[in-house]
Amino acid sequence: MEDRKFICPCYRHPDDIARDGHCICHLFVGDDYEPQEISPPVVVGDTDRWPAIVVYGASWCNHTLRTRRFLNREGIPYRYVDVEEDAGAAERVRRWNRGYLSTPTLDVGGRIVTEPSEEELAALLQPG
């Protein structure tokens, strides 16, 4: 994927990739690289107190993994959409982010939030 060089310059660090098996953003990986596993989202119930949350992300993105772990840890239900597997979702994310495929981008009850920190997510999800 030639576009990776525009997103991350890690391909210039073959020693790091050889030592760790991947670059910091997981775009450039060694031959034996296995992506990190993450638990599936909490199941949405009929009487949930949370807004509808959709996480648009990529399996290789550390920020997406951090966001999903936070939501899982807090027991917050969400739907995950991998932008590398859903071209329509990727196009929506680009439209929301002025042409950039920024991950994660979240739709929180109709409010679009791009690459939030855990603190921003916690504040956004507070009732009232």
The DSSP result for 8-30, as a single string, is -GGGG-HHHHHHHSB-TTSSSB-
pLDDT at residue 27, as a whole number: 62
List phi, psi (to 5°) of 112.
-90, 130
Task: Report whether 103 contacts 115 (CB < 8 A).
Answer: yes
User: What would the pLDDT profile of 29-38 be if each residue is shown by its tens digit?
Assistant: 666 666 667 7
Answer yes or no: do 57 and 108 share one domain: yes
Which domain, by its residues, includes 70? 53-124
Examine residue 1 and state whether it is found in any structural domain, yes or no.
yes
Question: If you average pLDDT over residues 84-99, what whole number do you get?
Answer: 95
Q: Amino acid letter at 125?
A: L
What CATH number does residue 105 fall under? Answer: 3.40.30.10
Same domain, 66 and 10: no
How confident is the model at residue 125, as a pLDDT?
84
The answer to whether residues 68 and 38 touch, using CB atoms and an 8 Å cutoff, is: yes
pLDDT band at 83 (very low <50, low <70, confident <90, very high): very high
Q: Does 37 reside within a domain?
A: no
Q: What is the CA radius of gyration of the chain?
A: 16
Task: For residue 38, tell me if it sits in a domain.
Answer: no
Give the chain's domain count: 2
* Full-model pTM: 0.70
